[in-house]
Amino acid sequence: MSNPKKLTKIKFFSINRDIRDGRRSNAQMAAFHNVSIETIRTVRNAKTWNGFLAHKQAKAARALKRKIELGKARAAQIKRPSDIPDIAVADPDMTASQTWTRPSLQEQIDVLADEVANLKRQRGPFRFSIIKKDNK
């Protein structure tokens, strides 16, 4: 199978001639020209070489847009405080034989607030902020 990006102008016109001839099905043309059925459909819809190039460019732009949107969605998910994993806080009085204990929610919030403050200083503001609440 051939990638539509690698389709040459000569092969495009050869496929286009077969399409206009109408003797073969899409599957037969795909097998004969060693391209995918999707490429045959693209050539059929494009009708001209410039139309085919425009279709390729639009397809690449849509793929890039999807990739950017997925990246933004992943970044937004990571930046939500609820998705940040629990952070173990070291107790200075602990000995090597003792195990780590799960920190309290307030300790986790304090550690995350410090990290966010450090990141803001380094990279600029983020879209979220952590609000400290006093437990009284």
pLDDT in tens, the chain (136 residues): 445 557 888 988 899 898 988 888 989 999 999 999 988 988 988 888 888 888 888 888 888 888 888 877 776 666 555 555 555 555 555 555 555 566 777 787 888 888 877 777 766 554 555 555 565 5
Domain membership flag for residue 61: yes
Q: Per-residue b/e over 105-135, b at no fewer than 16 CB within 10 Å?
A: eeebbbbeeeebeeeeeeeeeeeeebeeeee
Same domain, 41 and 54: yes
| Residues 17 and 34 occupy one common structural domain | yes
Q: How far apart, in Å, are the Cα atoms of 74 and each of 65, 68, 71, 80?
A: 14, 10, 5, 10
At 54, the amino acid letter reads A
Is 132 domain-assigned? Answer: no
Domains held by the chain: number: 2
Domain range enclosing 117: 80-123
The values of phi and psi at residue 125, to 5°, are -70, 145
Pair 64, 92 in one domain = no
